[in-house]
Amino acid sequence: MKANLVLKNASVYTVNSNQSWAEAIAITDDKIIFVGTDAEVGAYIDSNTAVMDLNGKMVLPAFVDSHMHPALSAHLYQYQLSLFNMTGKDQIQAYLNAIHKFVETHPNAQWIIGGGYLRSAFDEIGPRKEWLDEIISDRPIAITSKDGHSMWVNSKALELAQITKNTPQPNEGVIKKDPKTGEPSGLLQEPGAMNLVGHLIPPPPKEEIKKSLLWLQEWLNTKGITTTHEAMLGIEDRHIYEAYDELAQAGKLTLRYRASWTISPEGDARTQIEQGKALVKQFTHPHFKAHSFKFFADHVIEEETGYLLEPYAHRDDDWRGIKVWDDRILQKAFAQIDAAGYQIHVHVIGDAAAKYTVDALEKLVDLNRNRDARHSFAHLQLARPEDIQRMGKLGLSVHASPYWMNLDDYFWKLNLPYLGHERAFNQQYPFNSLFNAGVNVTVASDFWVTEPDPVKAIYNGMTRQISQKEFDSDYGSESNYRRVSDPNAKLENGDLGVLPPLDERANLEKMILASTLNGAYANFLDEAIGSIEVGKLADLVVLEDNLFDIDIEQIPETQVVMTLFEGKLVYSAKE
Ligand SMILES: [Zn+2]
């Protein structure tokens, strides 16, 4: 058999434990037909074979980003007001200037919508409606935070949603109030409060979603990503799932999607799951399938909505955050999904959220003992060691975000005061212990929360600090910050350092595994992709340097040279 394409003279790290390294790969159509030495690959070459001499560059299986929000994020980046990547001395003023400019340049937009502000730029009450009212008072504004867990609105939006001083607090959320007047201050936290405004915003046209997804896949291909998981597909969001499916059917995707249907505690879970099960069967294209169900066990620390075993440290009540689900209802919902043969995907941040969700998943084992279920958690900021052991025993995947495992500005301004010293310094983001417990650890950007960049995630997971380059671009001009790369140095408040515990750093082999084969496994794709083996699809990424040979500080700088999706070149740095 002759190959269409041969890659040779390369450092091929296969993520196949039977043959870790190779020099050459032969590809016919969409599949790998040979992995081995330069000498042997000659047998697959004839006059029709394109041969690429890679001059020692590294080849890896293409990256899997196992939890992100592609449709919402791409639409925000392409069509909405973006407050991402704004840093400066007066961050609030920078946000207000950008909002002002967007409002002026979009005179016909009925709603001003957007996202990306950092919660750490504001005090505990958060951004205020009055600042937006000064910019525009006759059209509603709704801007979602960078972490997606709060929304900044003006008075017009509050008025349309009929939110007043007297509106009772919703179950799964908080309407922040001005401590002096008791009036809504302009910040809505979590879905229970955000949806009061959110459900009034007209959904974007399907064509806009499709255009933004095409833009996004091109960008992700430049980062070496060819598979991702859409982690929050609304059962009602026809315009979104149809956009994915229509692109897949038209053969336009250069990114493979798996997806999770969101189950909300606001409606009847049983009915939603039945609707989701019907939708699962509608989508069968190999580039877009959705056989997983998404739950939020809790929310996030920075909005005081992550669910903790011990109270938040900065408050004088015994507030422990939001427990989204009643145990019995959650248990029933899990059982319904598991019995139907589908996956469960749970957002888990706090240690109490981890505990009650593991409790519920453990009960499934008795119901359905030997099923290959591959249920998963996303994020996991805090978890007791005994619960991590239980996750390993259950064979769970954890979609971790090494991007967040840093001792940064967010740590000093939010994590440390909210969690207190012990939890902030010694318990955040267990990572290496997940691998050691036998958990299937994957890498997730949670985009738009973090912009995907797998080599950066590899670096963060290995070091638990931000790179010098990231420091220079985000903090460098501000004299009050220092980057301290010595993990044993004594830190002063505000220093950007290494997030303890140090033994939670993972090595390069584990980081590559988590970024490739483990992500494939979590999505039932490990027989098709995730390693470089004969018979698998040729989803490959070529990196400028062999990550095993370079200085660790160079890892996040490593350039993607090309990306192949099912044997087709979908990105080349040369072009
Ligand atoms: Zn997410």
CATH value at residue 174: 3.10.310.70
CA distance 217 to 15: 24
Say if residue 515 is in the same domain as residue 537. no
* Contact predicate 29/3, CB 8 Å: no
The encoded tokens of residue 359 equal 């409790």
Q: Which strand ranges, in their side-by-side order, compose the sheet holding 24-28?
A: 31-36, 24-28, 5-8, 50-53
Say if residue 179 is in the same domain as residue 265. no
DSSP structure class, residue 357: H
Of 165, 198, 231, which closes a domain? 198
What separation in Å is there between the alpha carbon of 257 and the centre of ligand 1?
15
What separation in Å is there between the alpha carbon of 346 and the centre of ligand 1?
10
Is residue 362 one of the residues assigned to a domain? yes
Say if residue 122 is in the same domain as residue 265. no
Say if residue 274 is in the same domain as residue 363. yes
- What pLDDT is attached to residue 124? 80
Say if residue 182 is in the same domain as residue 214. no
Say if residue 37 is in the same domain as residue 115. no
CA distance 377 to 413: 26
What separation in Å is there between the alpha carbon of 50 and the centre of ligand 1?
40
Please report how the helices 454-463 and 508-515 are oriented relative to each other, as an axis angle in degrees rounded to 10. 140
CA distance 357 to 297: 7
Of 130, 164, 198, which closes a domain? 198
What separation in Å is there between the alpha carbon of 547 and the centre of ligand 1?
28
CA distance 210 to 70: 11
What separation in Å is there between the alpha carbon of 501 and the centre of ligand 1?
25
Taking the alpha carbons of 66, 399, 434, 465 in that order, is the dihedral positive or negative?
Answer: positive
What separation in Å is there between the alpha carbon of 513 and the centre of ligand 1?
21
- What pLDDT is attached to residue 88? 65
Say if residue 96 is in the same domain as residue 50. no
Is residue 47 one of the residues assigned to a domain? yes
Number of domains present in the structure of the chain: 3
Residue numbers in the chain where pLDDT is lower than 50: none
Neighbours of 469 (CB within 10 A): 15
What separation in Å is there between the alpha carbon of 411 and the centre of ligand 1?
20
CA distance 264 to 252: 31
What separation in Å is there between the alpha carbon of 378 and the centre of ligand 1?
7
What separation in Å is there between the alpha carbon of 446 and the centre of ligand 1?
5
What separation in Å is there between the alpha carbon of 551 and the centre of ligand 1?
32
What separation in Å is there between the alpha carbon of 67 and the centre of ligand 1?
6
CA distance 452 to 142: 25
Q: How far is CA 334 from CA 337, 360, 364, 504, 516, in A?
A: 5, 8, 8, 30, 27
What separation in Å is there between the alpha carbon of 110 and the centre of ligand 1?
28
What separation in Å is there between the alpha carbon of 71 and the centre of ligand 1?
12
Is residue 487 one of the residues assigned to a domain? no
Say if residue 236 is in the same domain as residue 359. yes
> Which residues are 537's β-sheet partners?
31
What separation in Å is there between the alpha carbon of 41 and the centre of ligand 1?
43
What separation in Å is there between the alpha carbon of 354 and the centre of ligand 1?
16
By three-state DSSP, how is residue 11 classified? strand
Say if residue 263 is in the same domain as residue 359. yes
Domain of 550 in residue numbering reads as 5-61+530-572
What separation in Å is there between the alpha carbon of 146 and the centre of ligand 1?
11
Say if residue 95 is in the same domain as residue 112. yes
DSSP assignment of 22-35, as one string? Answer: ESEEEEETTEEEEE
- What pLDDT is attached to residue 508? 98
The encoded tokens of residue 243 equal 């956009």
* Contact predicate 19/65, CB 8 Å: no
Say if residue 45 is in the same domain as residue 126. no
What separation in Å is there between the alpha carbon of 101 and the centre of ligand 1?
29
Is residue 317 one of the residues assigned to a domain? no
* Contact predicate 119/413, CB 8 Å: no
Q: How far is CA 376 from CA 176, 397, 476, in A?
A: 32, 5, 38
What separation in Å is there between the alpha carbon of 463 and the centre of ligand 1?
23
Is residue 130 one of the residues assigned to a domain? yes
Please report how the helices 327-339 and 351-367 are oriented relative to each other, as an axis angle in degrees rounded to 10. 50
- What pLDDT is attached to residue 479? 66
What separation in Å is there between the alpha carbon of 377 and the centre of ligand 1?
11
What separation in Å is there between the alpha carbon of 68 and the centre of ligand 1?
6
pTM: 0.93
What separation in Å is there between the alpha carbon of 251 and the centre of ligand 1?
27
What separation in Å is there between the alpha carbon of 437 and the centre of ligand 1?
24
What separation in Å is there between the alpha carbon of 231 and the centre of ligand 1?
6
- CB-count exposure of residue 129 (10 Å: 0-12, 13-18, 19+): buried
What separation in Å is there between the alpha carbon of 182 and the centre of ligand 1?
32
Say if residue 150 is in the same domain as residue 236. no
- What pLDDT is attached to residue 90? 84
Is residue 181 one of the residues assigned to a domain? yes
- What pLDDT is attached to residue 369? 64
> Which residues are 81's β-sheet partners?
114
What separation in Å is there between the alpha carbon of 70 and the centre of ligand 1?
10
